[in-house]
Amino acid sequence: MTAGAGISASLGVSAAKAVALAIAATITATGLAFWSNPAAAQLLIDTPGPGNAGIAEDRPALITADELVYEDELGIITASGNVEIAQDASVLLADSVSYNQNTEIVVASGNVSLLNENGDVYFSEYAELTGDLQEGFIQGIRSLMSDGLTRVAAARGIRTTDNRTVFDDAVYSPCPLCRSNPDRPPIWQLSARKVIHDQEAREVRYRDATLDVFGVPVFYMPYFEHPDPTVNRKSGLLTASWRSTEFLGFQATTPYFWVIDDNIDATITPTFTTKQNPYLNLEYRHRFPAGAIELRGSGTIADRENRDGEIDQDRFRGHIDANGNFTLDSRWRTGFNIFRVSDDTYDQLYDLDVPETRARTESNVFVEGFGGRNYFTANAFSYQSLRSEEDDDVQPLILPELDFNYVSQPLVANSLLTADANLLYLTRQQGRRMARASLVTGWTLPYTSDWGDVWTFRTSLQTDGYWTEGNDPDNPNDLDPQNGEDADSVFRAFPQASLEWRYPWAIQSGGWEQIIEPIAQFVAAPNGNWFNRGDIPNEDSLGFEFDDTTLFAPNRFSGLDRVDPGVRADYGLQYTLYTGEESFSQVFLGQSWRLSDTDVFAEGSGVEGDGASDIVGRVIFSPISEIYTAYRFRLDQESLEARVQEVTAGFGNQTLRLELDYTFTASQERDGGFAERETAGLTVSSRLSENWFVRGRIEQDLAANELQTASASLTYTDECLLVSLSVEERNFDDRDIESDTRFLLTIGLAQLGQFETGFDGGSGEE
């Protein structure tokens, strides 16, 4: 019996004869209705009761076809022409489909496509499947996995009851095919005698696999497995890496990733070396509903060269790097950041993630709260020096430091009251100890006149109380004095007032906007060395820099231990030009004139003594987004000789980009001063094409006429492949760290991971 075009039937996909007879009877009874309105033709058949073989009765299937034929004697139902069978999330498309009720086998032919419940799609010209579409044999199979990128092609495929698909003589690749020549091999693929996709375990396993790059076999693996594209996190071995350095020799690293829970994982990374003992890296990550922690650490037993040049054999060397953040409620949060190393060369020898320019590490635990216009924080700090000439015993331990900052609501005439309170206790294993209580109260009154000039009047009172032990009043900058005194208490009250005036003039013409802004400030405070006397130790104001950013600061010191006394006038002129959305240029010049003599600022700082200070300024020029230059400087007020210069510049776009940085600081000929410093760096980068990128950088110590570092890299990257070759020369020696040249090759394959191999070329010296 045959029903005409447009017939749709909804079946309970049971092959029982009762179902087939029900289909035939219903089609006969309703055939005329379908003929008259094919577009609306749809037939719903309920599956018979329990006991049917084949597909479960609670899983009906929807069959749509141009033509449906039922042969009663043979027990075969045949659908042809745009056949679509949908059951749950599984969909079968084909030119022709037949179902044998006796064998419960579905045979599909012609443009066969099968979408399974996991989202994978299989393509073929011929397939034999069970009635539930969950098992079967597919000839000449091609598969597109659920990520929409990964493809598998095989001579044949078998889908089994345990939710596995077995491919024979197969290739696997996430790389897209060439649009102009789809028959060309992808950039890389895995070829194997057998590929098993275990959708329940979400793994892809290979037997007799070969990695092909551009169709050329480059690596053979008798067995290999990796997670399928649906997996974000899965326990297992990560890709290995190989390196060679002068100190460690040849190194082989084999990380293992362990998924402990949905919100917890760990990475265990042993590294085996030929010149030293193996070392172990551990990483633990844990996410909580209101926060997260990350714990990293490493350790080994290895040789270590001391600061006196002697070699200590088989000493423990390691590090810990941990951080965490937790939100307690809408106002409070807490956290910690801890970094410690066993010795000051370990981080570079074992390639830890610590910047080489970092002079010391900082560890702290904190609690902070936000309430309207108020802020509170409690901190504990610990420091470790990474400089060979510094003794860790004199590094400070701060426990605790409490800060509270208050800003009032606007008061009369929009004025504001402020209060900043600080409580600190500082100790050391060796050296000076100190406790400090400080309160800075202030009042700020802004005013804008009818002419448009802006006035700001500020007053403040800083009151401090100190308790010290081991402080030398004759040398308050010495952290571990030989002539430190017994416990002592000191009190200080320092008032200050300032009046700032700005008068911005805006000129707009032809789409250009120019702003000329003279700035002046008068600051008045009691003068005298009493406010910065030696009884008050200097812990947080050792570093001082006079530049365009600190010129108008009422207190130019960065901390509380030193204040800026006396009377002075600050003045400057700023010119800004906007010529478009991406165009910005600015010039600023400024100077300070101190009316009272003071020796609180060191010689060479630019503001020592009385009279005129050095001239500070900046020039920024960025006419278009492809050009940016910034020049900051400090000039001697008499000779106009440069004392400090900083240049940052960038030219070009992704096609070709040059970036320059230059710093110069004149020598400070005083006790504890430093020699002249002058360094320059140049970076050149270019995106040669959509996929190729090259970068090079050189850093030179111009004062010593020595190369510091030089590096170059060539990178290729696309959707499925990353290849990077880099070389770096470092001219730095510190005991067991020697100047060297490093080469590194990185290969990243999408879904498989990243491989690294590198070696240290040595210093080239005997």
Per-residue pLDDT, 520: 97
CATH 2.60.450 fits 2-139, yes or no: yes
Q: How far apart are CA 401 and CA 397, in angstroms?
A: 10
**What tens digit of pLDDT does each residue of 146-182 get?**
777 788 888 888 877 777 888 899 988 888 877 777 7
Per-residue pLDDT, 42: 34
Query: In which band, very low, low, confident or very high, does the pLDDT at 15 lie, cut at 50, 70 and 90?
Result: very low
Query: In which band, very low, low, confident or very high, does the pLDDT at 11 lie, cut at 50, 70 and 90?
Result: very low
Q: Which of 102, 98, 122, 104 lies closest to 112 in space, CA to CA?
A: 122
CB proximity list for 237: less than 8 A, separation 6 or greater:
254, 255, 256, 257
Q: How far apart are CA 539 and CA 438, in angstroms?
A: 14
Residue linked to tokens 């448009």? 452
Q: Which of 144, 189, 198, 196 lies closest to 166 in space, CA to CA?
A: 196
Query: In which band, very low, low, confident or very high, does the pLDDT at 448 lie, cut at 50, 70 and 90?
Result: very high
**What tens digit of pLDDT does each residue of 549-608 get?**
999 999 999 899 999 999 999 999 999 999 877 788 999 999 999 988 877 888 888 888
Beta-strand relationship, 583-594 and 611-612: antiparallel
Residue type, 622: S
**What tens digit of pLDDT does each residue of 384-412 get?**
887 777 777 889 999 999 999 999 999 99
Query: In which band, very low, low, confident or very high, does the pLDDT at 734 lie, cut at 50, 70 and 90?
Result: low
Per-residue pLDDT, 662: 95
Locate the DSSP E strands across 386-448.
Answer: 397-407, 416-427, 433-448
The one-character DSSP state at 14 is B
DSSP one-letter string for 487-536: -EEEEEEEEEEEEEEE--EEEEETTEEEEEEEEEEEEE---SGGGG-TTS
CA 707 to chain centre: 30
Cα–Cα distances (Å) from 653 to 179, 562, 628, 681, 724, in that order, read: 29, 46, 11, 19, 21
Exposed/middle/buried for residue 170 (C-beta within 10 Å: 0-12, 13-18, 19+):
buried
Mean per-residue pLDDT, 679-692: 93
Beta-strand relationship, 488-502 and 512-524: antiparallel
Cα–Cα distances (Å) from 25 to 35, 63, 101, in that order, read: 16, 17, 16
**What tens digit of pLDDT does each residue of 502-530 get?**
999 999 887 889 999 999 999 999 988 88
Q: How far apart are CA 465 and CA 469, in angstroms?
A: 14
Q: Where are the domains of the chain?
A: 2-139, 233-430, 435-599, 641-733+736-766
Cα–Cα distances (Å) from 12 to 29, 57, 58, 68, 622, in that order, read: 19, 6, 7, 16, 71
DSSP, collapsed to helix, strand or coil, labels residue 248 as: coil
Exposed/middle/buried for residue 227 (C-beta within 10 Å: 0-12, 13-18, 19+):
middle
Q: State phi, psi for 167 to the nearest 5 degrees.
A: -105, 135
Kindly state the helix (H) or strand (E) to which residue 156 belongs, with its residue range: strand 151-159
Exposed/middle/buried for residue 661 (C-beta within 10 Å: 0-12, 13-18, 19+):
middle
The one-character DSSP state at 88 is T
Q: Is the pLDDT of residue 309 over 70?
A: no
**Percentage above 90 pLDDT, the chain:** 40
DSSP one-letter string for 530-569: GGG-TTS--SS------STTTTT-SS-SSSSS----S-EE
Q: Which of 620, 627, 658, 662 lies closest to 644 in space, CA to CA?
A: 662
Residue linked to tokens 């970068």? 695
The residues facing 519 across adjacent strands are 502, 572
Least confidently predicted of 111-120, 213-222, 265-274: 111-120
Are the CB atoms for 731 and 741 separated by under 8 Å? Answer: no
Per-residue pLDDT, 436: 97
Least confidently predicted of 233-242, 484-493, 680-689: 233-242
Exposed/middle/buried for residue 156 (C-beta within 10 Å: 0-12, 13-18, 19+):
middle
Kindly state the helix (H) or strand (E) to which residue 27 belongs, with its residue range: helix 17-36
Q: How far apart are CA 9 and CA 99, in angstroms?
A: 14
Q: State phi, psi for 529 to the nearest 5 degrees.
A: -75, -10
**What tens digit of pLDDT does each residue of 73-104 get?**
777 888 888 888 887 778 889 888 888 877 77
Question: End-to-end distance of the chain based on CA atoms, in angstroms?
Answer: 95
Q: Which of 124, 143, 123, 14 lies closest to 75 in space, CA to CA?
A: 14
Structure tokens at 667: 């020598």
Structure tokens at 660: 């320059």
**What tens digit of pLDDT does each residue of 23-67 get?**
333 333 333 223 323 332 232 323 333 333 333 445 566 788 888
Q: How far apart are CA 21 and CA 19, in angstroms?
A: 5
CB proximity list for 229: less than 8 A, separation 6 or greater:
145, 146, 147, 149, 150, 174, 751
Q: How far apart are CA 470 and CA 712, in angstroms?
A: 51
Q: pTM for this structure?
A: 0.77
Are the CB atoms for 408 and 416 separated by under 8 Å? Answer: yes
Angle at 298 between CA 294 and CA 299, to 5 degrees: 155
Q: How many CB atoms within 10 Å of residue 430?
A: 12
Per-residue pLDDT, 565: 92
Long-range interactions of 690-696: CB distance < 8 A, separation 24+:
691/716, 691/717, 691/718, 692/716, 693/717
Q: How many CB atoms within 10 Å of residue 451?
A: 6
